[in-house]
Amino acid sequence: MARHRMFVPLSIYFISLLVLTSSLFAQSKSLKKIHVGVPAISMGNMIIFFTKEAKLFEKHGLDADVVVMSGSGISSRALVGGSVEISPIATPTVMLSVVAGSDMVILSHTMPGVIQSMMVRPDIKKDEDLKGKIIGVTTFGSLTDFLVRHLAKKKGMNPDKDFALLQTGGDAERLIALRQGKIHAATLSHPAFILAQRAGFVPLWDFFKEVDYPWSEIVSRRSTIQKDRDLIMRYMRAHIEGIALFKKDPDLAKKVIKKTLRLDDDGLAQESWEVFAKYRLAAPYPNTRGMKTSYEYVAATRPDVNKYKPEEFVDASFVEELDKSGFIKKLY
């Protein structure tokens, strides 16, 4: 009798285990694979890492492979080549690619401006002092390259003659190069520009204040959307929920910030969260009005860009559907 009583629950245990294993297998089979290109490890792209850490991709049926690259130029080539399905690529890079014949499209601008500063050595006190100097950017064609060139021209300087631009890598690499004296100035995002300030460097340009540029884009391809719209819609749900959770859960946000940026400073992590939680847009529609700056920059080398309407570079239907359905409102 004793052996019989033990046999029944043991049978139930194995049956339950079989059902659970089958369920987990079915769940993993139902997840759609998506490759997400990330141009740089930075606060600007932090929502992607946060969404991954919070398992929101899985919640919305995605098995997301986050691939870190070096600059929007490389990410755009990966997107066009089909290595990734979605990536935060700088608006001017998207526009140049479309004018050249690609089918890239901007689905969202998640920030109203770009939080970056030009950090310089203390002996550089005004714009003219940049002449003959070396400025570190991520890569040519990247956001940092665009920002320096655009603002330099706005200030009456010629970025191809007055100073040299050097491809230096991400924030960490640019900060190291600045400290080692290999470059005289560098565009740095938050919190790297705070670390540069602590090391004795000073801000010369504040791109958030001086450049009207909607930022932190979500970009895909029209052919990808046509082939599998559900894949991209799942991504948009996860990313937009990631923005909401980032705003509402500072503890998890700071944990991910510190892990991703390899940051040990609690105060710096707190400040980074406060700045980006404040400015992240809950309903991040593509900002066609704010694309004027990008038009001006692209037109310098491709004047035929002016033949295109802003709407030809964007697809607002994803954010619009999530907004009108009440999905975004429920997150808050």
What pLDDT, in 10s, does the model give residues 276-329? 999 999 999 999 999 999 999 999 899 999 999 999 999 999 999 999 999 999
Q: How far apart are CA 329 and CA 104, in angstroms?
A: 29
Q: What is the pTM of this model?
A: 0.87
pLDDT of residue 29: 59
What pLDDT, in 10s, does the model give residues 175-189? 999 999 999 999 999
Q: Which residues, 6+ apart, have CB-to-CB distance to 224 below 8 Å?
A: 85, 86, 231, 232
Q: Which residues, 6+ apart, have CB-to-CB distance to 184 below 8 Å?
A: 120, 121, 124, 130, 133, 134, 135
Q: How far apart are CA 218 and CA 316, in angstroms?
A: 11
Residue 64 and residue 135 in contact, taking contact as beta carbons nearer than 8 Å? no
CATH fold, domain 116-210, is D-Maltodextrin-Binding Protein; domain 2 (3.40.190)
Domains 31-113+213-331 and 116-210 belong to one CATH topology: yes
Task: Find the length of the chain.
Answer: 332
CATH fold, domain 31-113+213-331, is D-Maltodextrin-Binding Protein; domain 2 (3.40.190)
Residue 71 and residue 183 in contact, taking contact as beta carbons nearer than 8 Å? no
pLDDT at 7 over 60: no
Residue 43 and residue 257 in contact, taking contact as beta carbons nearer than 8 Å? yes
Lowest mean pLDDT among 71-75, 83-87, 143-147, 230-234: 71-75
- Cα 153 to Cα 7, 92, 127: the distances in Å are 81, 16, 11
Q: Which residues, 6+ apart, have CB-to-CB distance to 48 below 8 Å?
A: 36, 38, 66, 88, 239, 242
Q: Domain-by-domain residue ranges, the chain?
A: 31-113+213-331, 116-210
Classify residue 21 by burial, with Cβ atoms within 10 Å: 0-12, 13-18, 19+: exposed
Q: How far apart are CA 208 and CA 226, in angstroms?
A: 35
pLDDT of residue 322: 98
Q: How many CB atoms within 10 Å of residue 308?
A: 15
pLDDT at 10 over 70: no
